[in-house]
Structure formats: structure tokens, C-alpha cells
Chains A and B, each alone.
Chain A
């Protein structure tokens, strides 16, 4: 059973960089056709897709956050990370890491959705 666990500071000052790590257990981050993703949710609001990464080096980011986001993967530690720079109060949210399963067939690749999620971690941006 795959498990994901977010970790990182719960409080970040405005203009600084938010850094979170997601540890993957119960399976190798390198095996299978998986993208490793980040999603966030401000209190009382909806889910927002931040971006995803693959061990091939492919990364995709939400266009609205692209200039501030970096998602990277560390296969030796079986974990992946999120960095969000120049944060403001609007970045205060619960941050989730998740696995996106997928497969390729007939020259096209398809997603099977975000099938495993971490429990989420609250990050507050405040001085």
C-alpha cells in the first residue's frame, strides 16, 4: 500500500520561499508510470492543482503559478519536493502531495487520476 507524507515548515514569512517534501513509502518513486503531484486548498475553498513531475524529468505547472513554482524529485530518497517563491498571504493553504497514475497505449498516454494522497499539511504565510 503506497503512502505519501508531507513535511515542512508550517509557517513561512511573506516574500520568502515555501518548501515542502513528500516522502513516498510502500513503493519506489521510480517504478511504474506515475507523475508525482502537488495540490493545495485554502481554508474553506476549493482544490487547486499546482503541478507535477516525473522521473523522466518532465514537469508541468499551473500557468498561474509557473513563475514561482519548482517541483523536483529525489529518487535516492524516494521523495519529491515543492518550492514556491515570493509567497504572500494568498498562498496560505493546506498543501497535499498525490500520485497520478497513468498508462500509454497506441502512441497516446492517459491519466488514471490522483489515486493516492498525503494527509495534507497546513502552511501559513505570516510575519
Chain B
């Protein structure tokens, strides 16, 4: 089955740039989506179609994708950005969705 691979954890100081990666064989042909999940809450979509930001998501969140790797970048990370982040994409059949294992972002 198709898999997306993320680092288990990333740590930055407030104001620094945080980068979270996601790798998958189908990423050259399929979009990546990113979700933020704070403790005890439902996930929130922060990036869709590799680099688009839904309304209400701060501009410090950006996304990019090249080859088999996608990156979520948080420029000037803030303490409130501390959360689990999941990438999500579609397998080569186009019918099945899959989440990455998640990355715990610590900002302190």
C-alpha cells in the first residue's frame, strides 16, 4: 500500500523557520495537503494542492513540492503553532487517500 513518510519531530525556537517534509513515490504526479492538529482538537487544513492556503490560515504557512518530496514551511514560527502536522495525498489510482505518520512540531 502507498505510504507517505514524515520525520517524527521537528523543534524550533520562536521566530525561527520550521520545515516539515513529506516523501512519497506518487508526489511528482499528485498534490499534497497539510493538516494541523492541536492537542484534543480535530485537524485543520492549512495547505492544499501543494501550496495554496485556505482563507483564515496565516501567511507564515506555505507549502512546496518537488519530485518525491513536499515541504511545509512555517516562517517565523510562533508558540501557538506547536501541534502535530500531517501530510495527506492520493495514491496513483486516484481513488485512495493516505496520511503521513505525522510530525510533532515543538516551538520553544
The residue on B at minimum CB distance from A116 is B45
Interface string of B40-64 (1 = CB under 8 A from A): 0011110011000010000000000
Nearest Cβ distance between residue A71 and chain B, in whole angstroms? 13
- Whether B86 and A111, one on each chain, are in contact in the complex, defined by CB atoms closer than 8 angstroms, is no
A77 to B37: give the CA distance in the assembly, Å: 30
CB contact between B96 and one of A60, A96, A113, A114 (< 8 Å): that residue: A60
- Whether B33 and A113, one on each chain, are in contact in the complex, defined by CB atoms closer than 8 angstroms, is yes
For A47, A62, A117, the residue with the greatest tally of chain B CB atoms inside 10 Å of its CB is A47
Interface flag for A7 (CB, 8 Å): no
A-chain residues with CB within 8 Å of residue B44 when the two chains form the complex: 117
Interface flag for A106 (CB, 8 Å): no
B-chain residues with CB within 8 Å of residue A115 when the two chains form the complex: 45, 48, 54
- Whether A113 and B45, one on each chain, are in contact in the complex, defined by CB atoms closer than 8 angstroms, is yes
A49 to B54: give the CA distance in the assembly, Å: 21
Instruction: Tell me how many residues of B have a C-beta within 8 Å of chain A.
Output: 24
Q: Which range holds the interface residue count of chain A? A: 20 to 34
A-chain residues with CB within 8 Å of residue B100 when the two chains form the complex: 46
Interface flag for A48 (CB, 8 Å): yes
Interface flag for B79 (CB, 8 Å): no
With A47-B35, A114-B35: A63-B96 Cβ-Cβ less than 8 Å = yes
Interface string of A37-56 (1 = CB under 8 A from B): 10100000011110010000
Nearest Cβ distance between residue B102 and chain A, in whole angstroms? 4
Q: What are 27 residue pairs bridging A and B, where the CB atoms are less than 8 Å apart in the complex?
A: A46-B86, A47-B35, A47-B37, A47-B43, A47-B88, A47-B102, A49-B88, A49-B96, A49-B97, A49-B99, A52-B97, A60-B95, A62-B96, A63-B1, A111-B31, A111-B33, A111-B90, A111-B97, A113-B48, A113-B49, A114-B33, A115-B48, A115-B54, A117-B42, A117-B43, A117-B44, A120-B42
Which B residues have a C-beta under 8 Å from some C-beta of A? 1, 31, 33, 35, 37, 42-45, 48-49, 54, 84, 86, 88, 90, 95-102
Which A residues have a C-beta under 8 Å from some C-beta of B? 37, 39, 46-49, 52, 60-64, 96, 110-115, 117-120
